[in-house]
Structure 1
Amino acid sequence: MEFYSQDEVQHILQVAIARQAQSSGTVEHLTRAQLLEIAEELGISPGELHEAEIEWRAQSGEMQERQAFDQARKGRFQRRVTRYLIVNGFLAGCALLASGGASIMGVPYIALFWGMFLALDGWNTYGLTGDRYEDAFRRWQHRHRLKRSVHSLLTRWLKP
């Protein structure tokens, strides 16, 4: 007798449902009625299915928020790298012009000092695991929700 873990069962059923949908001509989407029918065949009650849908929506929403958070962090880091390159390039150009092309004076020291902080910021931006990431995500999530609440409140108040 062969046994399967829950993850294996879930994956096998996903593949089977996808194949069934492909053969019936509804390649991308199943209707709610089809979902209920499949659940009934598997012995899943409509109440259990409803609870599973609620949990899935919550997980899906958090996944989208995490993707938005990651994009925001990466965008912020890219803007900082761009700023670093522009400012240090400008400083090097000014130093070369001021010295008649002979030297760039203290520009490497400024670039190294600033670059150290930029490297640490990159480490934090692309280190996407652990407690520090979770803490940063929760803070961002709280700020993001607060901004949406304030925006919707102001929209209601200012609406004629």
Structure 2
Amino acid sequence: MADFETKSTNLYSQEDVQRILQLAIARQADDQDKEFSYEQILEIATELDISPDTLKLAEKDWRSQHHEIQQRQAFNTHRITKFKKRFGKYAIINSFLILADFIGGGTLSWSLYILLFCGLALGLDIWNTFQTKGEEYEIAFQKWHRKHQIKQTINSVVNRWFKALQA
């Protein structure tokens, strides 16, 4: 008990308070598999002397960040799916070339060079696919995101057009 009393006289920075409360809420949610309603969040904010307007702005920021995280996860899934397709093509083509080389001469000779150079390209592809930080990743994500938004816009316009035709 004396240990807690000495710690309770310590001062904590805002960042430390946020982290401590975040861990406490996460622990409580894990213990009870509990989700919080907006009213409960508002009550907690009120107890922490956080205004409802500040809470609404924080929730808006959180929704925006959450949406971007979901978009990045979708982009990463898209990149991995494309990589798996390229890897499958690499495996099929190189297997065929190795088999042709072996059948043609009884040994492996020229197909190993092709395998080596294609393996180098595959290694670079692996690096680019699983590298999720940096300027190149951001450029690729922005390009994919714009393309994805354009598709969504076109789909919604076409759907509205079809609904108008059906009416």
TM-score by length of 2: 0.83
Q: Which runs of 5+ in 1 are unaligned?
A: none
**1:130 aligns to what?**
134
- Please point out which of 103, 107, 114 is paired with 1:103: 107
**2:24 aligns to what?**
16
Matches within 5 A, 1:3-152: 3-18=11-26, 27-99=33-105, 102-152=106-156
- C-alpha distance 5-69 of structure 1, shift in aligned 2 (>3 A): farther
Letter in 1 for 2:112: P
Which structure has the highest helix share of the two? 2
- C-alpha distance 92-53 of structure 1, shift in aligned 2 (>3 A): same
Q: Which runs of 5+ in 2 are unaligned?
A: 1-8
Per the TM alignment, residue 18 of structure 1 is displaced from its structure 2 partner at its CA by 4.5
Per the TM alignment, residue 98 of structure 1 is displaced from its structure 2 partner at its CA by 3.1
Per the TM alignment, residue 125 of structure 1 is displaced from its structure 2 partner at its CA by 1.0
Deviations 1:82-114 (A, max 9, x none): 110111101221232333xx1344212222222
Deviations 1:54-81 (A, max 9, x none): 0000000101111111111112112111
Per the TM alignment, residue 149 of structure 1 is displaced from its structure 2 partner at its CA by 1.1
2-side partners of 1:78 and 1:136: how far apart?
A: 18
1-side partners of 2:124 and 2:62: how far apart?
A: 36
Letter in 1 for 2:152: R
- C-alpha distance 47-78 of structure 1, shift in aligned 2 (>3 A): same
- C-alpha distance 82-6 of structure 1, shift in aligned 2 (>3 A): farther
RMSD of aligned C-alpha atoms?
Answer: 2.0
1-side partners of 2:110 and 2:27: how far apart?
A: 65
TM-score by length of 1: 0.86
Percent of aligned positions with the same letter in both sequences? 43
Provide the aligned length of Structure 1 versus Structure 2. 156
Letter in 2 for 1:157: W
2-side partners of 1:158 and 1:10: how far apart?
A: 50
Per the TM alignment, residue 27 of structure 1 is displaced from its structure 2 partner at its CA by 3.5
Moved over 4 A (4+): 18-23
